[in-house]
Structure 1
Amino acid sequence: MKILPAGIEQQINRVDRQRSLLIGISCGLLAFWSVYRVIWALYLAFTYDFIFGSLVFPIVLWGVIAAAAGIAATAFLTHYAKGSASDTDHVDHR
C-alpha cells in the first residue's frame, strides 16, 4: 500500500540510505513527542474543564505534526529497509 504520491516517493528514493535512517529515526521521535503532547493536552482539557477552549488549537496542531512526522518516518524507514548492499557508501580507492 502506497501512502505517498509518486513525486514525493521519488524524492525520498534520492536520499542516501544512512541519511534515510537518520531522518526516519528523527521523525519517529518527533511523532512520539507529538503524541505525548496531544495526550497531555487532552488530559489537561478533561481534568480542568475551564481551559478546554484554549487547548483546542494545540491539540489539533500537535495532532497534525504527529501525523506528518509518522508518515515521514514510515516512508524513510521503509526506504532504508528496502535498500540493498549496493546502496551503501563505497570508498573510492584511487
Structure 2
Amino acid sequence: MKIVPTPIAQHIDRVDRQYSLYIGISTGLLAFWSIYRVFWSLYLALTYDFIFGSLVFPIVLWGVIGVVAAITSYGFVTRYLKGSATGSTDGSTETNKV
C-alpha cells in the first residue's frame, strides 16, 4: 500500500539521497512536535472547559500539519532507504560526469 501519491513520489525521487535523509528527519521531528501540541491542546481543552472553543482551531491546524509532516517524512525516509535510481549509494557518479 502506497501512502505517498505517485506524482509526489516522482518529485521526491528527484531529490538527492542525503538531502532526503535531512528532510525526512526534520519533517519527522515536526510531526512529533505536532502530536505534542495536539495532545497538550486537548489536555487544556478538557481540563479547562471555558477555553475549549478557542482551542478548536489550533487542534485542527496542528493535526493537519502533523499528518502532512508524517506523510512527507515517510516519503523522504523511504527515498533515502531505497538508494538512488542508478543503484549507487553515494553521489560520486554525479561528480565524475564532467
TM norm. shorter chain > 0.5: yes
In 1, Cα distance between the equivalents of 2:18 and 2:71? 18
What does 1:47-86 align with in structure 2 at a 5 Å threshold?
47-83=47-83, 86=88
How far apart are 1:58 and its partner, in Å?
0.2
Q: How many residues align?
A: 94
1:44-71 CA distance string (max 9 Å, x none): 0000000000000000000000000000
1:4-59 CA distance string (max 9 Å, x none): 22111100000000000000000000000000000000010000000000000000
In 2, Cα distance between the equivalents of 1:6 and 1:78? 14
**TM-score, normalisation: structure 1:** 0.93
In the alignment, which residue of structure 2 is the partner of 1:89?
Answer: 91
**TM-score, normalisation: structure 2:** 0.89
Name the % identity.
66
Q: Is the 8 A contact 1:31 1:70 kept in 2?
A: yes
Gaps of 5+ in 1: none
In 1, Cα distance between the equivalents of 2:79 and 2:6? 14
Gaps of 5+ in 2: none
In 2, Cα distance between the equivalents of 1:13 and 1:36? 30
